[in-house]
Amino acid sequence: MKILIITPRIPYPPFRGDKLKIFNLSKQLSKNNSVTILTFLRRKNQNEDIKIFKELGIKIFTVKFSVFNSMLKVMGNLFSSLPFQAAFYSSGKMVSKLNELKGNNYDVIYYHLVRTAQYYKPDSHNRNNLNILDFTDAVSLYLKRFTEIEKNPFKKLFIKIEKKRMEKYEKIAEKFDTLFICSEVDKNHLINNGIKTKINILQNGVDTSNFKYEEIDYDKNKIIFTGNMPYFANYDAAIYFTEKIFPRILNKKSDAKFYIVGQKPPRKIRNYSSDKIIVTGYVKDIRREYLTSCVNIAPMRFGAGTLNKIIESIALGVPVVATSLAVQGLPKEINDYIFIADDPDSFSEKVVSILVNPERAREKVKEGRSLIKNILSWEKVVGDFEEYLKNEVGKLKVH
């Protein structure tokens, strides 16, 4: 098959959810198919990132992205019904490049994230390719949960406006042949919001060749939280744990240490740095950070979709303490291998119990490692997705 992927960012390095997904999706699909990526070029020094895809046999085309112009578009849409993030990624140059590439007669055109949906223009006279949209997460669900915990009245108002716009805009999915989403929770939210189209699940996966169990010495006092720190759900979770949960842990386990690992930590998080709280910023080898930790935490209070930090940790055999909300996007059978707690007292107790008796916790996670490999390896996830695409493309060719 000839597959065109339209995505807002060059999906490399794959250290955040959206980049991670497209990097592994394109890498796996390129083994048996011709894959092309169309994306925005945000920085001039991304030639090395582009080179990675060329080495994998993936063609990549870029359209220059101007943050200044995008902000002007957002300002111009202040009183429209278009979500701010859709306005931000609106580009006439992207439309032109996509129209040019369509001449290559792709079997599948895959639009990644709600912000690229605007580039699909249905043509009833030319239905010889499959057009699919992947929201990954239900953005309106993320925004709904965000409003529930945001205290600043001005931010809350802004988020509510974007939520209302997004709830209407997400119905753009009805133009596509299929909508993909990463979890049943997100799917049900969209159905309840009145979206009437075929919705399938495309889970986030794990690179099990890299994230595999290894017997190494780990720090029995090390608690780790990982994530892209400017992402508000991660930012909030890091603050919540630091201020509400970690002091309770120190009362019972004074030698505990908390590592906040992830790119671009905002000033408030950097200011937590002390002998007990280590803010690393971006690390090249996240796998090693997991493996040298006693327990991984996901104290999420809002968000949507699937948390890669949880499935990666289980694949490595590292125990996870998470809130119920953090695990909602995961296959239910994986929850058996996660320690779940929803208030500061019970969360701190679960973390302390792992710090005190880590081997018992690791025994619980052991079976989860093989489960992750069986159902959430990228080979399995993308293999099933590829079969679906083949079947749907085959139906189009018959007609």
**Model confidence pLDDT, tens digit, residues 106-130:** 999 999 999 999 999 987 556 789 9
pLDDT of residue 247: 98
Query: How far does Cα 222 stand from its chain's mean position?
Result: 25
Q: How far apart are CA 305 and CA 203, in angstroms?
A: 9
Residue 228 lies in a domain: yes
Reported in sequence order, the residue ranges of the chain that DSSP labels E, i.e. its strands, are 2-7, 34-41, 59-64, 108-112, 130-136, 178-181, 199-201, 222-226, 257-261, 277-281, 295-298, 320-322, 339-340
3-state per-residue secondary structure call for 199-217 = EEECCCCECCCCCCCCCCC
pLDDT at 303: 84
Residue 16 has pLDDT above 80, yes or no: no
pLDDT tens sequence across 312-326: 999 999 999 999 999
CA distances to 40, 69, 84, 90, 223 from 66, in Å: 9, 5, 16, 11, 39
Domain check: are 162 and 19 in the same one?
A: yes
Question: In terms of domains, do 200 and 259 share one?
Answer: no
Over residues 135-161, the mean pLDDT reads 95
Question: What pLDDT is attached to residue 399?
Answer: 64
Is 90 exceeded by the pLDDT of residue 45? no
pLDDT-above-90 percentage for the chain: 86
Q: How many residues does the chain have?
A: 399
Task: Assess contact for 5 and 25: CB atoms under 8 A.
Answer: yes
> How much is the average pLDDT of 18-39?
96
Write down the pLDDT at residue 18.
Answer: 86
Same domain assignment for residues 122 and 54? yes
Q: Looking at the domain assignment, is residue 112 inside a domain?
A: yes
Do residue 140 and residue 199 come from a single domain? yes
User: C-alpha 350: how far from its chain's center?
Assistant: 26
Query: Residue 254 above 60 pLDDT?
Result: yes
For residue 376, what pLDDT band results from cuts at 50, 70 and 90? very high
Enumerate long-range contacts of 287-291, CB under 8 Å, 24 or more apart: 287/210, 287/211, 287/312, 287/316, 289/224, 289/226, 289/259, 289/261, 290/211, 290/224, 290/226, 290/316, 290/318, 291/214, 291/216, 291/218, 291/316, 291/318
pLDDT at 262 over 80: yes
If one counts the domains in the chain, the total is 2
Residue 55's φ and ψ, nearest 5 degrees, are -65, -25
CATH assignment of the domain containing 108 = 3.40.50.2000
The verdict on residue 214 lying in a domain is no
Average the pLDDT over 57-85 and give the result. 94
Work out the mean pLDDT of the chain and round it to a whole number: 94
Helical pair 308-315 and 358-376, crossing angle rounded to 10 deg:
110
In this structure, is residue 383 part of a structural domain? Answer: yes
Please indicate, yes or no, whether residues 254 and 336 belong to a single structural domain of this protein: yes
Mention every residue, 6+ apart, whose C-beta is less than 8 A from residue 229: 235, 238, 260, 262, 263, 264, 265, 266, 269
CA distance 148 to 131: 35
Quick one: which of 308, 285, 280 has its CA closest to 296? 308
- pLDDT for the residue numbered 124: 57
Highest mean pLDDT among 33-47, 166-180, 320-334: 166-180
Q: What is the DSSP letter of 102?
A: G
pLDDT at 29: 98
Q: Are residues 182 and 294 in the same domain?
A: no
Within-domain flag for 217: no
| 227/362 same-domain check | yes
SS (H, E, C) 234-292: HHHHHHHHHHHHHHHHHHHCCCCEEEEECCCCCHHHHCCCCCCEEEEECCCCHHHHHHC
- Which residues make Cβ contacts (< 8 Å) with residue 121, sequence separation at least 6? none
Q: Is residue 216 part of a domain?
A: no
Span 275-288, pLDDT tens digits: 999 999 999 899 99
Q: Is 213 inside a domain boundary?
A: no
168: domain range? 2-205+378-398
**Mean per-residue pLDDT, 240-250:** 98
Q: What is the pTM of this model?
A: 0.93
CA trace torsion 189, 190, 192, 194 (10° rounding)? 170
Amino acid at 344: P
Q: Is the same domain home to 370 and 382?
A: no
What would the mean pLDDT of 214-235 be, rounded to a whole number? 94
Mean pLDDT for 325-331 is: 92
Q: Which two tokens stand for residue 171?
A: 């119905």
Q: Are residues 367 and 386 in the same domain?
A: no
Confidence of residue 97 (pLDDT cuts 50, 70, 90): very high
Q: Are 364 and 383 contained in the same domain? A: no
pLDDT at 15 over 90: no
pLDDT number for residue 93:
96
| pLDDT, mean of residues 354-360 | 96
Whether residues 40 and 141 share a domain: the answer is yes
* Residues 361 and 393 grouped into a single domain: no
Q: Are strands 108-112 and 2-7 parallel, antiparallel or unpaired?
A: parallel
Residue 110 has what pLDDT? Answer: 98
Among the residue ranges 114-128, 243-257, 364-378, 379-393, the one predicted with the least confidence is: 114-128
Measured CA to CA, the distance from residue 366 to residue 353 in angstroms comes to: 17
388 pLDDT more than 90: yes
219-234: average pLDDT = 95
Predicted confidence (pLDDT) per residue in 197-222, tens digit: 999 999 999 999 999 888 899 999 99
